[in-house]
């Protein structure tokens, strides 16, 4: 299975993604045939910093779970208004 096919199942989830020129926490917004649209989250303010389009072969690592990811999800969830 290719990475791009696996990432399709993680659309709209918070992850840590590392690619050739950087690595950031954020939300996978869309997974296309050759690119991933990724919303970067500023971990200090828990606000969206920017959206980047990453060429899929440049993605080196994607962390889907862990304490940092759980903290980001909890922080953003607490900011939602009912």
CA separation for the pair 77, 82 (Å, rounded): 10
Q: What is the CATH number of the domain that holds 35?
A: 2.30.30.100
DSSP state string for 16-69: EEEETTEEEEEEEEEE-SSEEEEEEEETTTTEEEEEEEEEGGGEEEEE--SHHH
6-44 pLDDT, tens digit each:
999 999 999 999 999 889 999 999 999 999 999 999 877
Amino acid 81: pLDDT: 66
Q: What total of structural domains would you count in the chain? A: 1
Tokens linked to 64: 């889907």
- Structural domain range at position 15: 3-78
The model's pTM is: 0.81
Amino acid 52: pLDDT: 95
């Amino acid at each position: 299975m290719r990475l791009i096919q696996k990432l399709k199942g993680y659309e709209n989830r918070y992850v840590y993604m590392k690619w050739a020129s950087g690595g950031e926490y954020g939300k996978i917004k869309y997974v296309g045939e050759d690119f991933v649209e990724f919303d970067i989250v500023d971990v200090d303010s828990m606000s969206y910093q920017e959206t980047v389009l990453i060429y899929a072969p440049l993605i080196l690592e994607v962390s889907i779970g862990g304490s940092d990811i759980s903290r980001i999800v909890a922080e953003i969830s607490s900011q939602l208004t009912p």
